[in-house]
Amino acid sequence: MSDKPAVVLVHGFWGGAAHWAKVIVELARKGYTSLHAVEMPLTSLAEDAERTRKMVAQLKGPVLLVGHSYGGAVITEAGDQSNVVGLVYIAAFAPDAGESPGGITQHHLPVAAPNLEPDSDGYLWPQADKFHATFCHDLTAA
């Protein structure tokens, strides 16, 4: 049995649990045996945090919550359970008490807005020609 905590990976707003597949493989190589990626409904911060809380409640022993992007706001909300031993933010929202991802985004909207465009239903998406992704080779080094 591993002495490492269970890890719950929480995806960002334009993501899904499957995006953690390669990270799960790397963490397993590092000896983590209880790895979970929550699939959030992305309906509201409250519902996404509740879904994450339910997953954490299913796990026995200590749990480490890891959030990427919007997932950082989710782990901030869901991280108050007694078996949560830590929160890890990966390029993520880390709101203060009373702060929301929307409020943080509004603060930075003058920079972000030119890179977003609405689809036919009014949902905002990054413009493909202005989106640049960078990837970290080894997310598990430390």
Quote the mean pLDDT of the chain: 82
Please report the pLDDT score of residue 136 as a whole number: 45
Cβ atoms within 10 Å, residue 121: 5
- Answer whether 35's CB lies under 8 Å from 7's CB: yes
Q: Read off the CATH number of the domain in which 96 is found.
A: 3.40.50.1820
- 66 DSSP β-pair partners: 9, 88
Confidence of residue 137 (pLDDT cuts 50, 70, 90): very low
Q: What is the pLDDT of residues 85-135, one digit of tens each?
A: 999 999 887 766 776 666 655 555 555 556 677 778 776 677 777 655 544
Residue 115: inside a domain, yes or no? no
What pLDDT is attached to residue 139?
Answer: 47
Looking at residue 3, the DSSP 8-state letter turns out to be S
Distance CA 49, CA 97 (A): 15
Domain count, the chain: 1
Residue 60 covered by a domain: yes
The answer to whether the pTM exceeds 0.75 is no
Domain span at residue 14?
Answer: 6-100
As a 3-state breakdown, the chain gives helix, strand, coil percent values, each rounded to 5, of 35, 20, 40
Asked whether residue 107 is domain-assigned, the answer is: no
In-domain check, residue 76: yes
Q: Quick check: 58 and 33 in contact, CB under 8 A?
A: no
Question: Which residues fall within 8 angstroms of residue 140, CB to CB, at 6 or more apart?
Answer: 23, 26, 27, 29, 30
**pLDDT one-digit tens code per residue, 43-71:** 888 999 999 999 999 999 999 999 998 89
Q: Is residue 125 part of a domain?
A: no
- Give all strands of the β-sheet with 35-38 in edge-to-edge order: 35-38, 6-10, 63-69, 84-92
